[in-house]
Homo-oligomer: A and B are copies of this chain.
């Protein structure tokens, strides 16, 4: 395999830094190729703005999608973005690793998505017709590849469980899993989540490390989340509503968009 790991933590000596090194070592031991985009180390620029689009006339109004599409087609995107496109096309597996800040990714990683996922590359791909609404949600530039999140939280696993106050972790991650990764074509693996990482002792750390090694060893064989393909017949076009006869009668919201829930194992039976 060829793996791109995008890493978004400001401190190399952090738990995240240690987990990154463990993942890379395990992958290399398995004979896989690894590239790393270390966003803080690379001083990644987070903000989409007009300096991203050299071909835009100085007095022209910036329309982001249009400028992105024109720059992509004309090969005039900035070098940092083009380098990420090369890595994404090289890799058959993408890992995004980050601490869960305010129930999403750190700004620097969101800025990697906002800038790298260009129009014509990650969206605005493919033809629109009565049976096909663009190449997205299971089709697109990155189809045939796999993606997975490696996430750490300060909060307790129980607080992210089915009835936990934060909301279920798989629902909190849906905008990333489905909206950012499945959208341009990735098959999305269940996430690796390490909870309550500010209070890990040595035994707790080794447990997390071993779970991560296991996930790295099974990257190629782990079953992805069973999201429904947009153009596979399950959705009405153009409203893109799930057909009325589909979906578990009890399912609502995000759960409708996979054929089985199954993205997360049940919460371990244990005391706090």
Shortest beta-carbon distance from A266 to chain B in Å: 14
Interface status of A167 (Cβ within 8 A of chain B): yes
Do residues A47 and B49 form an inter-chain contact, with CB atoms below 8 A?
no
Interface status of A50 (Cβ within 8 A of chain B): yes
Q: Which residues of B contact A168 (CB under 8 A)?
A: 253
Q: Which of B63, B111, B167 is within 8 Å of A46, CB to CB?
A: B111
Do residues B241 and A163 form an inter-chain contact, with CB atoms below 8 A?
yes
- In A233-272, the 8 Å CB interface with B consists of 235, 238-242, 244, 247, 250, 252-257, 272
Interface status of A120 (Cβ within 8 A of chain B): no
Task: Name, among A40, A107, A252, A272, the residue most crowded by chain B CB atoms within 10 Å (CB to CB).
Answer: A107
Q: Which residues of B contact A47 (CB under 8 A)?
A: 10, 40, 46, 106-108
Q: Which residue of B lies closest to A240 (CB)?
A: B165
Do residues B61 and A13 form an inter-chain contact, with CB atoms below 8 A?
yes
Q: Which residues of B contact A178 (CB under 8 A)?
A: 167
Interface status of A114 (Cβ within 8 A of chain B): yes
Q: Which residues of B contact A253 (CB under 8 A)?
A: 162, 167-168, 171, 252-255
Q: Which residues of B contact A46 (CB under 8 A)?
A: 46-47, 107-108, 111
Interface status of A48 (Cβ within 8 A of chain B): yes
> A14-B62, A47-B40 are known contacts. Are A250 and B250 too (CB-CB below 8 A)?
yes
Shortest beta-carbon distance from A163 to chain B in Å: 5
Interface status of A37 (Cβ within 8 A of chain B): no
Q: How far is the CA of A238 from the CA of B162 in the complex (A)?
A: 15
- Interface 9-mer from A26-34, A81-89, A153-161, A211-219: A153-161
Do residues A110 and B102 form an inter-chain contact, with CB atoms below 8 A?
yes
- In A18-75, the 8 Å CB interface with B consists of 40, 46-50, 61-65
Q: Which residue of B lies closest to A243 (CB)?
A: B163
Q: Which residue of B lies closest to A271 (CB)?
A: B239
Closest 5 CB pairs of A and B: A107-B111, A103-B179, A46-B46, A103-B175, A107-B110
